[in-house]
Chain A
Amino acid sequence: MPEQDRVITYADAGVEALREEMRRDGSIVYIGQGIGPRGGNFRQTRGLWKEFGDDRLRDTGICELGATGAAIGAAMAGTRTVVDEVFLDFALEAITQIVQQAANISYMSNGKIKAPVVIRGAMGAVRNAGAHHSHTFYNWFANTPGLKVVLPSNPYDLKGLFKTALRDPGPVAVIEHKSLYNAKGVVPEEEYLIPFGEARIVREGTDLTLVAMSRMVSLAEKAAVELAQQGVSAEVIDPRTIMPLDRQTITNSIKKTGRLVVIDESPSYCSFAGELLAIAVEDCFDELRGTPKRICSLAVPNPFSPVLENQMIPTVDRIVREVHDAMKNSRRES
């Protein structure tokens, strides 16, 4: 099998990014819970402790505030760090350190102090984990000046973006999706980096632009296949990083298709989906053929019941149905 066809999981792609970067940069220290001998709750650090030991794979007790603050302080002092919140939900225990200290430090210090820290956490709904273990939160992070926000949707992107994050002056929030850890994809063994702020055109199309992030990308792809069978050609775009954002690729597509539908696992109110709609209006108003639309999770805490949670989060069926509605909606004769 040729090297470029090697298929590995999302979790292993993250491990590989870390292994390569920790070998390259001997200063990187990884801090978190269960990330040492256990190899991570999601197997997201499997095998690293064996190679790098206690000093660099630093397990802590349950103290996200202290551990995250320490990771940021170490970064400010010149040691590149990764702090693994495991569940992104748990980052809230440490949010003051992330927002007030890490995100502000470059500006507050007039650029004299950087915090090269990666804040890693797994978001989103998986297997009915309930309200405390399913949040997305990336809207909050993206709304914080000084933070970069990475949302990898597949193993290839995770490896390339994570490696870039580990060379960034920081801070960077690398937000994975819990339900993607076992997803497989082609990941080259050789070195590659994916720059921040470069969207990926997942599928080309002419009738409308679908923008989706993280797990929603695969749903958008499936919806696009169905839509194609029904005569609608959807272009699917994955921004990959929402801060910084590749505004150009997205607006070029909207100008081409005249229609935008955003698929977002966060609730719609004050969301990144809302930001994309604003961009469509600001940059593509004259080219819009229909009202931009967003398909988001309902604004409820993640319910435990599978029936209720399925109702809350966008599904392929809902995307297909609502895209058809969007296609009927016309601002002008085309």
Chain B
Amino acid sequence: MSERVLAEQISKELLFAYYKKVLELRLFELKVQELYRNGRLPGFVHLYVGEEAVAVGVCSHLENSDLVFSTHRGHGHALAKGVTAGIVLAELWGKVTGSSGGRGGSMHMYAPEYGFMGTNGIVGAPIPLATGAALSAKLRKKSQVVVCFFGDGAVNSGSFHEAVNLGAVWNLPVIYVCENNLYATEMAFQRATKNTDVASRAAAYGMLGVAVDGQDVVAVHEAAREAIQRARNDGGPTLIECKTYRYVGHHEGDPGTDYRTREEVQQWKQKDPVKIARQRLRDAGVDEATLQSADQEVERLIDEAVEFAENSPEPSADSVNEHVF
């Protein structure tokens, strides 16, 4: 009996941690949106709004030394892997305190000290990289695993085919996580491919594939736990398809309404990852006051990140030639 109580407590704690992390990813991106729209941030940003449960559910199982390779829509992956909001935001601001000292920006932020091996401006490119990192882990006989996030846009690329094939034949400790948000920029997945069942493609490479509700952090957590354990035990790679959706346009500035209907967006918002995670806490008996205090805690965290990033110095112009080699 005591065991059961303990399990519930841990479960509630985990749910709480998940909720706060999902909310952090959400509020972070909404803050980025606001700053970007106000002309405060240079460059381009692709926001993760609506997909937060995927990053949180997967990364919750990872150690700091495990590696994550991410995408152009990668702020959430960085945060979920443990990079602090201030460091991520400072990079988006081009500040010297950013994860790449301002040399990278949104699509090229690297924080190996957190096992975060980068967002990436090239769709599909991280899949071979992650596969190679997993080869390194296997050869060094580490229990390290590698997670590679990519979207539905990447799975029709040659990079996906060639790398996943190698990951499977070499039986590498890598988890390929497809965030299927149904659109590659404006291209609907069903117009891009005949087989829209991404998980089913795993069979073509002789590896396991599972599909999961990407809006529910607990569902993602379950699927990822199994895959990560398998990878750690030399059981080879898994392809996890997380069915998800971005509420925002492809990049900030794209209204995202030319190629999909408002009804469709509204429908997906009914399955909002923040709401689902919050509801799970309510179901577990957490009261409204506790939830609100958690909300405030996360809001403070984001405010502090803004303060940190805003007050951080720019890189000195004469450092431009540093770190080329």
Residues of A within 8 A of B (CB): 27, 29, 55, 60-61, 63, 65-79, 81, 96-97, 100-101, 104-113, 145-146, 148, 169
Q: Are B136 and A74 in contact (CB under 8 A)?
A: yes
Q: Are B162 and A74 in contact (CB under 8 A)?
A: no
Residues of chain A contacted by B306 (CB below 8 angstroms): none
Query: A76 to B100, alpha carbons, bound, how many Å?
Result: 15
Q: Are B324 and A146 in contact (CB under 8 A)?
A: yes
Query: A75 to B131, alpha carbons, bound, how many Å?
Result: 11
Chain B 164-201, CB within 8 Å of chain A: the 1/0 string?
01100000000000000000000000000000000000
Given A66-B163, A77-B67, A106-B324, A29 contacting B135 (CB threshold 8 A): yes
Give the interface SS of chain A, mostly helix, strand, loop or mixed.
helix
Contact of B110 among A29, A100, A110 (CB under 8 A): A110
Q: Are B132 and A69 in contact (CB under 8 A)?
A: yes
Chain B 94-123, CB within 8 Å of chain A: the 1/0 string?
000001110110001011110001101110
Instruction: Quote the shortest CB–CB distance from B167 to chain A (angstroms).
Output: 9
Instruction: Quote the shortest CB–CB distance from A128 to chain B (angstroms).
Output: 30
- The 22 sampled A-B contact pairs (Cβ below 8 Å) are A66-B128, A66-B163, A66-B165, A69-B128, A69-B129, A69-B163, A70-B129, A72-B129, A73-B134, A73-B135, A76-B129, A77-B146, A78-B140, A97-B125, A100-B121, A101-B125, A104-B108, A106-B324, A107-B323, A109-B100, A112-B112, A169-B325
Q: Are A113 and B112 in contact (CB under 8 A)?
A: yes
Query: A105 to B119, alpha carbons, bound, how many Å?
Result: 11
Contact of B128 among A27, A79, A97, A104 (CB under 8 A): A97
Residues of chain B contacted by A27 (CB below 8 angstroms): 139-140
Residues of chain B contacted by A65 (CB below 8 angstroms): 128, 158-159, 162
Is the C-beta of B133 less than 8 angstroms from some C-beta in chain A? Answer: yes
Q: Are B132 and A108 in contact (CB under 8 A)?
A: no
Query: A110 to B161, alpha carbons, bound, how many Å?
Result: 31
Residues of chain B contacted by A78 (CB below 8 angstroms): 136, 140
Query: A75 to B139, alpha carbons, bound, how many Å?
Result: 12
A70 to B, closest residue via Cβ = B132
Residues of chain A contacted by B122 (CB below 8 angstroms): 96, 100-101
Contact of B139 among A55, A100, A107 (CB under 8 A): A55
Query: Interface range on chain B: under 10, 10 to 19, 20 to 34, or 35 or more?
Result: 35 or more
Contact of B325 among A55, A70, A81, A148 (CB under 8 A): A148
Q: Are B324 and A108 in contact (CB under 8 A)?
A: no
Contact of A73 among B103, B129, B140, B323 (CB under 8 A): B129
Residues of chain A contacted by B134 (CB below 8 angstroms): 73
Is the C-beta of B242 less than 8 angstroms from some C-beta in chain A? Answer: no
Is the C-beta of B154 less than 8 angstroms from some C-beta in chain A? Answer: no
Query: A111 to B122, alpha carbons, bound, how many Å?
Result: 20
Residues of B within 8 A of A (CB): 67, 69, 99-101, 103-104, 108, 110-113, 117-118, 120-122, 125, 127-137, 139-140, 146, 158-159, 161-163, 165-166, 322-325
A106 to B, closest residue via Cβ = B323
Q: Are B137 and A72 in contact (CB under 8 A)?
A: no
Q: Are B323 and A110 in contact (CB under 8 A)?
A: yes
Given A55-B139, A74-B136, A112 contacting B113 (CB threshold 8 A): yes
Instruction: Quote the shortest CB–CB distance from A326 to chain B (angstroms).
Output: 35
B108 to A, closest residue via Cβ = A108
Instruction: Quote the shortest CB–CB distance from B91 to chain A (angstroms).
Output: 9
Q: Are A69 and B131 in contact (CB under 8 A)?
A: yes
Query: A66 to B287, alpha carbons, bound, how many Å?
Result: 50
Residues of chain A contacted by B133 (CB below 8 angstroms): 73-74, 76-77
Query: A105 to B325, alpha carbons, bound, how many Å?
Result: 9
Q: Are A77 and B163 in contact (CB under 8 A)?
A: no
Query: A29 to B261, alpha carbons, bound, how many Å?
Result: 50
Q: Are A70 and B324 in contact (CB under 8 A)?
A: no
B130 to A, closest residue via Cβ = A73
A69 to B, closest residue via Cβ = B128
Query: A63 to B163, alpha carbons, bound, how many Å?
Result: 9
Q: Are A66 and B162 in contact (CB under 8 A)?
A: yes
B323 to A, closest residue via Cβ = A111
Residues of chain A contacted by B125 (CB below 8 angstroms): 69, 96-97, 100-101
Residues of chain A contacted by B113 (CB below 8 angstroms): 112
Residues of chain A contacted by B161 (CB below 8 angstroms): 66
Q: Are B136 and A107 in contact (CB under 8 A)?
A: no
Residues of chain B contacted by A70 (CB below 8 angstroms): 128-129, 131-132, 135, 163, 166
Residues of chain A contacted by B130 (CB below 8 angstroms): 73
Q: Are B166 and A111 in contact (CB under 8 A)?
A: no
Q: Are A106 and B325 in contact (CB under 8 A)?
A: yes
Query: A110 to B323, alpha carbons, bound, how many Å?
Result: 6
Instruction: Quote the shortest CB–CB distance from B309 to chain A (angstroms).
Output: 16
Query: A79 to B137, alpha carbons, bound, how many Å?
Result: 9
Query: A72 to B132, alpha carbons, bound, how many Å?
Result: 7
Query: A68 to B134, alpha carbons, bound, how many Å?
Result: 14
Residues of chain B contacted by A76 (CB below 8 angstroms): 117, 129, 132-133
Given A72-B129, A73-B131, A109-B118, A66 contacting B159 (CB threshold 8 A): yes
Q: Are A110 and B137 in contact (CB under 8 A)?
A: no
Residues of chain A contacted by B166 (CB below 8 angstroms): 60, 63, 66-67, 70
A169 to B, closest residue via Cβ = B325
Contact of A113 among B110, B121, B162, B325 (CB under 8 A): B110
Q: Are B101 and A110 in contact (CB under 8 A)?
A: yes
Residues of chain A contacted by B158 (CB below 8 angstroms): 65-66
